Structure formats: C-alpha cells, structure tokens
Structure 1
Amino acid sequence: MRTSERLIESTRELLWERGYVGTSPKAILERAGAGQGSMYHHFRGKPDLAAAAIRRTAEEMRAAAEGVLGGPGTPYERIEAYLLRERDVLRGCPLGRLTMDPDVVADEELRAPVDETIGWLRGRLAGIVEEGKARGDFGPGLDGDEIAAAVVATVQGGYVLARASGSPAAFDAGVRGLLSLLASPPDSPPASRTAR
C-alpha cells in the first residue's frame, strides 16, 4: 500500500476511535508507519488528510448502504435489511460520531461529506418509502421524508444508546421497535400496530 493510502486509512481509523481533536499528526504517522515529513509530502496538513479520510469513509458507507437498499426485496424488506445489516455497534458510526466534534462541524470541508452522505441516505430511504406507498405496502399517510429521518435517527441514536450501556441490546431494541411500526398493515391505527 502506498504511503498516501496508509495515511488515509490510518486517519480513518483514528477519527473513528478518537475523533478529529484526538487524532494528532504524530498518531497518524505512527499508525501508518510513515516518516515525519510524509504527511506534508502528500497532503497540506492534518485538515487536508482528514478531509480525504472522511470522504473515503463517506464513499464506503454510501456503497455499503446502496448494496442493501438497492438489493432485492420489497421496500419493507430493503429497509429491514439496512437496519439489520452487520455493524460494529459499540464502536459507533464512523461518520455520525464526527457530528459531535466541534472542529469538524465548524469546518465546511470536513463537515460536507458527512452532511452529504446523511442527506443522500435520507433521500434514498424516502424514495424507498414512497415506492412502498405506491405498491400499497405502506399506508398512504406515511411521509417518506419523515420515515427516512426516523430510520437514520434510529440508527444514530441506537449507536449512542449502545455505547452508553456498553451493550448492542439497546441498538437492537430500537431497530425492532421501528420495524414493528413499519410492518403494521397500511390501514391500521397506531395503537394496534404489531410486528411482522
């Protein structure tokens, strides 16, 4: 692997583990096994390298999500597959955790890939909900944008609950709860919703 790739991959891991503030150039170089001047040979500095790492993480997350959301099955089954896909729940979301980092939120270049990826995911999910409504799988009263926001919020909030409790059980409970709401017959009132 080229030095620039090792630097990007090391930065991605450190951002996930420590956040932007906790990721020092020294730690990046040590993790990458790179010499002291190599970061500045390939990148303008830590912000430039972090932006490349965040973009790479965003691209991989989009590809992984699309692999499930664009796969076979009904709209419900595709949303279910996205919610149930394998995740390292206790590590949290490598992009979502960056929204808690004030330096990332304050820097347009660092924040943009995070915002764009979450926006893309919400749009993709909303489209699937609308597809389900057209097929009669979901009730006509459901709002695709609102359901998409609920799906993303369940995943991101589930990471927080799991990390706080030290157990993936809280994440799993949130996912099961959302799926039971989505699985209710299209014409049933909220009080009578049951899981599939």
Structure 2
Amino acid sequence: MSTSERLIESTRELLWERGYVGTSPKAIQQRAGAGQGSMYHHFSGKPDLALAAIRRTADEMRAAVETWLGGPGTALERITAYLRRERDVLKGCPIGRLTQDPDVMADPVLRVPVDEMFAWVRERLAEVLAQGRDAGEFPATLDPQATASTVMAVLQGGYVLARAAGSPEPFTRAVDGVLGLLAAQATA
C-alpha cells in the first residue's frame, strides 16, 4: 500500500473512531507510519486528507449498498438484506457518525460527500420501493420517497440507540420494526 493510501485508510479509521476534531495530523501520521513531510507531499493538510477519506468511505458504502439493493429478489427481500447485513452496530455508521461532528457539518466542502451519500441511499431505497409498488408487491398508495426517508431514519436512529445502550439490541429491534411495517404493507 502506498503512503497516500495508508494516510487515507488511517484517516478513515480515525474519523470513524474519534471524529474530525479528535483526529490530529500526528495521529494520522502515526497510524499510517508516515512522516509529516510525506503527509504534506500528498495532501495540502488535514481537511484535504479528511475529504479524500470521507469520499473513499462513501464510495465503498455506495458499492456495498448497491450489492444488497441491486441484487436479486423482491423489493422487501432486497431491503431486508440491506438492513440485516452484518455490521459493527456499536461503532455506528461511518458516514452517519460524521453528521454528529460539528466541524464536518460546518465545513461546506467536507459536508458534500456526507450529504451526497445520504441522498443517494435515500433515492436508491425509493427506487427499490417504487419497483415493489409498480410490481404490485406494495399498495399503489405507498409513497416511495417518504418510506425511504423512514427507513433511513430508523437505520441511523437504531445506531444511536444501540450506542447509547451499549448493546446492538435496540438497533435490531428498530430494524425488525421497520421491516415488520413494510411486510404488513406487502400485498404479495
């Protein structure tokens, strides 16, 4: 792995663990095994490196989400696969955690990939729900956009509740709840 790759990967890990403020250039360099000169050779500073790390995280998450939502099965089966996928619930969502970081949210450049990721997932969920509605799996009255927003809110809220409880159980119950509501709507 090249120095720039190690710097990006180290920054990704540290942003998820500590947030933007808690991720110092020195901590990034130590984790990456890179010197200050190497860091500033590849990146103009911490914001530039954080942006590369956030974009990489969003790109990987987008590919993973597409694996489940774009896979085979009914709309409900695909959404179930996405919501029940294996994840480290207590660490939270690596993009969702950034929304709780005031420095990321206050920076219009760092905020862009976060906003874009959430918008993309919401739209992708809405597409799957619309496909299910159009195929007769869900009633014609189902609002794909509103339902996708609900699914996103439950998912992100489940992470928060799990972290607060120190247990994945609240996350699992939240996912079970939203899937139960979707299953109750299913007409197939």
TM-score when normalising by structure 1: 0.93
- Quick one: which amino acid aligns to residue 15 of structure 2? L
The corresponding residue for 2:117 is 117
CA distance in 2, matches of 1:185, 1:4: 48
The corresponding residue for 1:152 is 152
Identical columns (%): 68
CA distance in 1, matches of 2:15, 2:67: 24
Pairwise CA distance, 1:184: 1.0
Pairwise CA distance, 1:185: 4.4
Query: Higher relative contact order by CA 8 Å / sep ≥ 6: 1 or 2?
Result: 2
The corresponding residue for 1:193 is none
Secondary structure of the residue aligned to 1:44 is: coil
**1:2 aligns to 2:32 (yes or no):** no
Q: Is the 8 A contact 1:140 1:186 kept in 2?
A: no
CA distance in 1, matches of 2:120, 2:84: 19
CA distance in 2, matches of 1:185, 1:31: 48
The 4+ residue runs of structure 1 with deviation greater than 6 A are: none
Pairwise CA distance, 1:115: 0.5
TM-score when normalising by structure 2: 0.97
State how many pairs are aligned.
187
CA distance in 2, matches of 1:69, 1:186: 17
- Quick one: which amino acid aligns to residue 134 of structure 1? D
The corresponding residue for 2:40 is 40
The corresponding residue for 2:162 is 162
Secondary structure of the residue aligned to 1:183 is: helix
- Quick one: which amino acid aligns to residue 120 of structure 2? W
The corresponding residue for 2:84 is 84
Pairwise CA distance, 1:122: 0.5
The corresponding residue for 2:27 is 27
The corresponding residue for 1:192 is none
CA distance in 2, matches of 1:164, 1:185: 31
**1:102 aligns to 2:102 (yes or no):** yes
Q: CA RMSD in A?
A: 0.9
Pairwise CA distance, 1:186: 4.7
Structure 1 spans left out of the alignment, 5+ residues: 188-196
Secondary structure of the residue aligned to 2:16 is: helix
Secondary structure of the residue aligned to 1:20 is: coil
The corresponding residue for 1:56 is 56
The corresponding residue for 1:174 is 174
Structure 1 residues 185 and 7, CA gap change in structure 2 (3 angstroms): closer
CA distance in 2, matches of 1:104, 1:146: 27
